[in-house]
Amino acid sequence: MPVTVGITTSTFGREDPEPLDLLKQARIEWRLNPYGRKLQPEETIHFLREADGVIAGTEILDHAVLGQLPRMQVISRVGVGLENVDLAYAEQRGIRVFSTPDGPTQGVAELTLGGLLAVLRGVARSDAAVRRGDWKKPMGHLLQGKTVGLIGLGRIGRAFAVLVRPFAVSLIAFDVDPDLTAAQKLGVQFVGLEEILAQSDVVSLHLSGVAARPLLGEQEFLRMKPGAVVVNTARGGWLDEKALAQSLRNGHLGGAYLDVFEEEPYRGPLAELANVVLTPHLGSYAAECRLRMEAEAARHVVAFFGGREGKRPEAFR
């Protein structure tokens, strides 16, 4: 009986057929997501009921879902986080779990820089004005010489630091598990969270995992410098979006760029503000990043079913 894999990511193989070719060459049959969007739990169960494995996106793969997938043997996540997977239950079932932690790093880092510059120079609102026929020139700000505070100095935080250093910025960071060697190489100084808030002209979040509660809320925004810019390309939920909107409305903060949200698609008050740039979770959506991630996810599946599990990616259990 041939191995069958369900592919739940909505754009898998669209930019380049290589990931699908890898499965084909290994004689693994696949089914593509028929909805063109993130699957809801009942849809996931229906779609994967007869699958031996899944090349997964961000759909929920908890006990309730996996418990109804009797043939499931391997989960290969296209992306970094595995918060959507019940890892304890997967281990109990003997389901192998893989991810592609390095694939999106450069894409997210470059998007972070692009979004930040767009906020500082009013690119989005200027574009909208020109399209309306208005020739107005909002006064912006340079990134050069600013203090950039990084909350989280993992893969993406470090990649962003490399990109932003040529702007002659001062780099400070807060991390619960500080990598002193990496910080020294990058010219980053570790400080406490309070110093990040008090000293930074730009606060950029690069945390992993799901937030139990927002790290940045009303009180934290009040402690930030007047005119500071907030950036979140990490995970939705790490900041209080309503409190951020209020701080932007009252003029205390100068702007914000968000690519991730507590609930997606986003329909909240930040969309009403001119000094905010919003994108629809585009972090890894660069063709080169997608190909790398999708091909790596396919290789995990091929190696697993070929009896050559090889080196396991960074463990998330």
Determine whether 281 is an active site residue. yes
Alpha carbons 33 and 7: distance in angstroms, whole number: 6
Check whether the bond before 138 is cis (ω within 30° of 0).
no
Determine whether 299 is an active site residue. no
Within 10 angstroms of residue 187's Cβ, the number of other Cβ atoms is 11
29, 42, 264, 309: the catalytic one is: 264
Alpha carbons 131 and 103: distance in angstroms, whole number: 35
77, 155, 158, 235: the catalytic one is: 235
Determine whether 252 is an active site residue. no
31, 93, 141, 281: the catalytic one is: 281
Which residues are known catalytic residues?
Answer: 235, 264, 281
